[in-house]
Copies of this chain bind each other. A is one copy, B any other.
């Protein structure tokens, strides 16, 4: 039974997980969907009410019946490395590859269907509510008057991007930024803004969940620092305990969203309360492992290596 890792060639985080799987003699196939068709060959058979499929990379063959789990790490776009790439070839190749993998009975970290919905930040806030997390009051709006009202009511307000930084090369950094309540909000009419009450924090918390295992790390904030992802605080990530109430909410969130892996960001306020900021289903863990020594790569490898129960139906069904 083989673990399939979908990622690009340069991926040191995947390397860490592959090293563990090799130690345990668990067969691994690493595939960048960009290399299909080309380096990789695929074939899926639907006949007589049954299904089988094969993936072949560098002479190694993986049968869908022997698929233990799939880790969707940093996959390239299907057919991106083809001799004659085109949007249509990408669409056809995506259908062939993911259509075949969706047909298999296997475990996903994370199933693309669940990952896709989990990327919606407003939805994250709602699921966080339902899971019992403390969530800073937030508004997502294209109405300048409502943005203004929100800023006046909450005084200290940050503005964030919902979808991430604007595309571009080099990538634009877009740190979360404090907004002056007297600011001119008229531009909100031209593009939605996500405004959130600023939580004065004494630390950033990164909680990485792998299956049911939770790894919390804490980094003390510098005075006046808004976005823990940018700038040097002079502090480093240290392992932290996970309060019971938080663990319960994390498990609830994972159940509601169908995620096997997630990286949660919290702000720890002056009273020690953890405020939910976001949950990144594909969040990095390499830097946390490096600074804290927490065995996250091993936990990922362990989750991937688990034996699949025999099941009749593909995963990711409703």
Using a CB–CB cutoff of 8 Å, the interface residues on chain A facing chain B are 36-37, 40-51, 79, 82-84, 86-89, 91-96, 98-100, 102-103, 113-114, 116-117, 120-123, 125-127, 129-130, 135, 137-143, 146, 161-164, 166-167, 189-192, 194, 255-258, 312-314, 316-318
Q: Chain B nearest CB: distance from A84 CB in Å?
A: 7
A95-B114 contact given A50-B129, A103-B126, CB 8 Å threshold:
no
Query: Are B42 and A142 in contact, CB atoms less than 8 angstroms apart?
Result: yes
Query: Are B99 and A135 in contact, CB atoms less than 8 angstroms apart?
Result: no
Q: Tell me the complex Cα distance, A92–B255, Å.
A: 26
Q: Identify whether the interface residues of A are mostly helix, strand, loop, or mixed.
A: mixed
Count of this chain's copies in the oligomeric assembly: 2
A121-B95 contact given A258-B318, A318-B258, CB 8 Å threshold:
yes
Query: Are B88 and A102 in contact, CB atoms less than 8 angstroms apart?
Result: no
Q: Chain B nearest CB: distance from A225 CB in Å?
A: 24
Q: Tell me the complex Cα distance, A143–B102, Å.
A: 20
A138-B190 contact given A122-B96, A126-B103, CB 8 Å threshold:
no
* Residue from B36, B43, B190 within 8 A of A146 (CB atoms): B43
A-B contacts besides A43-B139, A86-B166, 14 pairs, CB < 8 Å: A37-B190, A37-B192, A43-B141, A45-B138, A46-B129, A48-B137, A91-B162, A91-B164, A92-B162, A93-B192, A95-B120, A95-B192, A99-B140, A256-B317
Q: Tell me the complex Cα distance, A86–B190, Å.
A: 12
Query: Are A46 and B122 in contact, CB atoms less than 8 angstroms apart?
Result: yes
- Most-contacted residue by chain B among A162, A164, A316 (CB, 10 A): A162
Query: Are B99 and A121 in contact, CB atoms less than 8 angstroms apart?
Result: yes
The residue in chain B whose Cβ has the minimal distance to the Cβ of A84 is: B190
* Residue from B99, B161, B167, B190 within 8 A of A123 (CB atoms): B99
Query: Are A43 and B167 in contact, CB atoms less than 8 angstroms apart?
Result: no
The residue in chain B whose Cβ has the minimal distance to the Cβ of A88 is: B166
Query: Are B143 and A41 in contact, CB atoms less than 8 angstroms apart?
Result: yes
Question: Which residues of the partner chain B approach A318 to less than 8 Å between Cβ atoms?
Answer: 114, 255-258, 318
The residue in chain B whose Cβ has the minimal distance to the Cβ of A191 is: B89
Q: Tell me the complex Cα distance, A130–B51, Å.
A: 10
Question: Which residues of the partner chain B approach A87 to less than 8 Å between Cβ atoms?
Answer: 167
Query: Are A137 and B46 in contact, CB atoms less than 8 angstroms apart?
Result: yes
Query: Are A140 and B44 in contact, CB atoms less than 8 angstroms apart?
Result: yes
A130-B42 contact given A93-B191, A163-B95, A192-B37, CB 8 Å threshold:
no
Q: Tell me the complex Cα distance, A49–B126, Å.
A: 8
Could you name 13 residue pairs across A and B whose Cβ atoms are closer than 8 Å?
Answer: A36-B142, A37-B191, A41-B142, A42-B140, A42-B192, A46-B140, A48-B137, A49-B129, A91-B162, A92-B192, A96-B194, A100-B140, A256-B318
